[in-house]
Structure 1
Amino acid sequence: MLGKIKTPVVAVLCCVGLGAGVAGCDGDAMDNWDPFAPSSPTSGAAAISGTEKITVAGRSVNVSCSGEPAKDRPVVVLLHGGGDGLDKMAALQRTLSAKDRVCSYDRLGAGASDQPDGPQDFAGTGRILTGVLDRVAGDHPVVLAGHSLGGLIAARYAPDHQDRVKGLVLLDATPPTMTNDIEKAIPETAEGPAGELRAQNLAIFQGRNPEKLVVADGEVRSAGDIPVEVVRHGKPYLEALPEYGPRLERAWAAGQRKWLALSSRGRLSTAADSGHYIYVDQPDVAARAIDRVTAEAARQATQGG
């Protein structure tokens, strides 16, 4: 259990791939999973203003939208990290909504949304995301901006939805091969904080997290020729883990570079003064990255690709 660990760095790192807000690392027991039913058509629904609960595949999903649609610019959709909710990104949403239509939502098992019936996978979270986009964006293109686990989900979703996703911003996103990275960086024989960290993270990625999401490693697939900005943390906080910290820091940096394979228009930058929560530590860096990608996506649409 996270609460039993006294070393501060382990308390931070226990949920490094999912966000530091997870209350515990033992999770709930997995139940039999029921595939999501298709979401019902919502093209005629009124635009959401403020926070509202919508029904997607029979589940209640908490959604927040603000700002007016800008001519020829995509709708921006924010995806929070694991253990967080849309409220964590409220300040960023408020900043961005001065120029664009911006929405966020709580995934199943997070914030004010329903709990999942059982274990989830990326296909299941993708179906919920599709239902949310149907409601908040309709036929408009979108830019997905995700932090940590939210970035991983966005990056897994985009290749299969190139007709809709026209830009990506990954804010210290969970690397695509995080389980393998941890297993290589921290040997099974490790003891103390490192050993506990290894066991806890592997359990988290196997589905013992609030969203019951099994976070499987996978190859980075192309999302087309869309603008992609990958922003990694600049403060090497992972190095604080005794003995194995530098390995983890190098693995994380390598994982950020892997995301550039999403597009030939990918760009990697470092938020020099930020830890894992870039949009909190340096909100201007996050906002500028999202604005650049949104503007570039709008230009591509105007020019026909």
Structure 2
Amino acid sequence: MTRKKTRTSAALALCFAVAGVGLVGCEDPTTGAKPEAGSSSGASATGEAPLTGTEKIKVGKHSVNVSCTGNQAGDRPVVVLLHGGGDDLTKMADFQKTLSADGRVCSYDRLGAGASDKPDGPQDYDDIGKILTGVLDRVAGDGPAVLAGHSMGGLIAARYAPDHQDRVKGLVLLDSTSPTAVGDLTKRIPESATGPAGELRAQTLGVFAGENPEQLVFTDGKVRSAGDIPVRVIQHGVQYLAEVPEYGPGLEEDWTKGQKAWLGLSTNSELSTAEKSGHYIYLEAPKVAADAVKEVASQATA
């Protein structure tokens, strides 16, 4: 492999790796369009008419962009999608449309993403959780919900569920950021590293420290139990992180370790691999992702 090709591959791996934890600026071959309006039923916690299509709601003093499609299907939980860092709800539009064939599905832009307001300053998981609670109040009311999150969105969903077992009845984590991502990266790539690996370390630790559009400050922590809710963890099979010179294989090992750690969320959890997919599983292996959501929603209904 030529030096130029090696640098290109490493840069691509760097881009995807950092995008996976929230950095803006990486191009993706797909583009999202806003979900089409659909019909829905069921009242919100405030007694307002069901949200249909894409509109902005108030959560506290902030404006939050929300999209809902599909019809309420009996006692099936509302599925709420959480996009990855650097993305917004339009990225998951096609995936949402697919899932809407089976029931009501909603997505939203977190503060700092898409058409929602910017955050007032640095955020922690509690801050982001308050916005999620406000969204659930509006789109699910007192009813159950299944959270399906990609990358940073999966991390947020997994941190949120243990404290909200009254309403979160299932989780699907799509190549979610590890619960020990900060420590893993710090240990894996030394501060003395140079080249693509050094850039990856510096940029990603910056993202973890709050240098991301949502200003979320990542903190490592133990995986807490959300009871026996169905949890499906899906990791990438195409090992793009392995392209980072010298440290790539170790980064893949750390990522897999993190995916396994998320199994501690529930006594009813399973880990699988989307063999032909990189980080964006819901785009590169949409059937794998959709089947997982359908399975969890079905179990949560039973």
**Counterpart amino acid of residue 260 in structure 2:** R
| 5+ long unaligned stretches in structure 2 | 1-6, 27-43
1:282 lines up with 2:285 in the alignment: yes
Alpha-carbon RMSD across the aligned residues, in angstroms, is 1.3
SS of alignment partner, residue 182 of structure 1: helix
1:17 lines up with 2:21 in the alignment: yes
1:118 lines up with 2:105 in the alignment: no
1:297 lines up with 2:292 in the alignment: no
**Residue 98 of structure 1: aligned partner:** 101
1:45 lines up with 2:45 in the alignment: no
1:87 lines up with 2:90 in the alignment: yes
5 Å matches for 1:203-242?
203-242=206-245
SS of alignment partner, residue 170 of structure 1: strand
Among 73, 76, 80, the residue aligned to 1:77: 80
Among 177, 191, 194, the residue aligned to 2:194: 191
Residues 94-121 of structure 1: per-residue CA shift (max 9 Å, x gap): 0111111000000000000000011111
**Residue 138 of structure 1: aligned partner:** 141
**Residue 28 of structure 1: aligned partner:** none
TM-score (norm 2): 0.90
**Counterpart amino acid of residue 80 in structure 1:** H
SS of alignment partner, residue 123 of structure 2: coil
**Counterpart amino acid of residue 12 in structure 1:** F
Among 178, 183, 186, the residue aligned to 1:180: 183
Residues 119-176 of structure 1: per-residue CA shift (max 9 Å, x gap): 1110000000000000000011000000000000000000000000000000000000
**Residue 244 of structure 1: aligned partner:** 247
Mapped to 1, the partners of 2:85 and 2:131 lie a distance apart of 16
**Residue 163 of structure 1: aligned partner:** 166
Size of the aligned set, in residue pairs, is 277
Among 200, 208, 211, the residue aligned to 2:203: 200
Mapped to 2, the partners of 1:196 and 1:73 lie a distance apart of 45
User: Deviation of residue 265 (structure 1)?
Assistant: 0.2
Task: Could you list the structure 1 runs, at least 4 aligned residues long, displaced by more than 4 angstroms after superposition.
Answer: none
Residues 233-287 of structure 1: per-residue CA shift (max 9 Å, x gap): 0001100000000000000000000000000100000000000000000100000
User: Deviation of residue 184 (structure 1)?
Assistant: 1.4
SS of alignment partner, residue 270 of structure 2: strand
Mapped to 1, the partners of 2:150 and 2:12 lie a distance apart of 22
User: Deviation of residue 42 (structure 1)?
Assistant: 4.9
**Residue 34 of structure 1: aligned partner:** none
SS of alignment partner, residue 102 of structure 2: coil
SS of alignment partner, residue 97 of structure 1: helix
SS of alignment partner, residue 130 of structure 2: helix
SS of alignment partner, residue 85 of structure 2: coil
Identity %: 63
Mapped to 1, the partners of 2:226 and 2:203 lie a distance apart of 32
TM-score (norm 1): 0.89
**Residue 30 of structure 1: aligned partner:** none
Mapped to 1, the partners of 2:264 and 2:18 lie a distance apart of 27
User: Deviation of residue 43 (structure 1)?
Assistant: 1.8
**Residue 64 of structure 2: aligned partner:** 61
Mapped to 1, the partners of 2:45 and 2:228 lie a distance apart of 29
SS of alignment partner, residue 64 of structure 1: strand
Mapped to 2, the partners of 1:134 and 1:13 lie a distance apart of 33
**Counterpart amino acid of residue 206 in structure 1:** A
**Counterpart amino acid of residue 271 in structure 1:** A
SS of alignment partner, residue 268 of structure 1: strand
Mapped to 2, the partners of 1:162 and 1:8 lie a distance apart of 39
| 5+ long unaligned stretches in structure 1 | 25-40, 300-305
